[in-house]
Amino acid sequence: MKKDCMKNRGSSVKFLLFLTDFIVPLVIFVIVSYGILMEVNVYDTFIKGAKSGFFTVIKIMPTLVGLMVAVGILRASGFLDFLSKLLGNVTEGLGFPGELMPLTVVKMFSSSAATGLLLDLFKEYGTDSYIGLIGSISMSCTETIFYTMSVYFMTAKVTKTRYTLTGALLATLAGLAASVVLAGMMVR
């Protein structure tokens, strides 16, 4: 029975891999086809959108550079290691290793910098270790809160964020809790 389950799982994964190869071209084809059916000048519309996107990138560039510099300073200064040791004592009791605190903090600002930290954790502890599993799952269960808020709110000219930060931090906490639970189930 277990063999049949693994066989079915393998064919499901193969189907999903097959599907992912065609999903993006299919979506592009559907969008272009719909535009042609609605008698929209698809190429001109694409060029207008690309131009608008370019100017958006120019507007948010200072924010992006500032975030990258801040993350670089935090990493180079040793603050993240200090934070890891300080908060690690508290989080260890909850099942969240202190070694993951820098990853958690950096992920709120930059996903690419957090990916670098995750790769460092993989080198040190291994991908299938408890720390590696929690790190992997938490990367997909959490958001780059401050990056997202600064970029999207700046682009949309939103000045009053209301409960966005509180909600995003609570969602991140829920994602971290889920990563601990899921990794615990996988290790067993």
CB atoms inside a 10 Å sphere around CB 18: 9
The pTM of the full predicted model, rounded to 2 decimals, is 0.68
Residue among 87, 96, 119, 92 nearest 175 (CA): 96
Contact indicator for 33, 75 with CB cutoff of 8 Å: no
Joined together, the tokens standing for residue 158 give 């939103």
CA distance 85 to 83: 5
Q: What is the per-residue pLDDT across 117-160, written as a single tens digit (0 to 9) for each?
A: 899 999 999 999 999 999 999 999 999 998 888 888 877 888 88
Q: What is the per-residue pLDDT across 53-81, written as a single tens digit (0 to 9) for each?
A: 898 888 878 877 887 788 788 878 988 88
Task: Report the amino acid identity of residue 73.
Answer: I
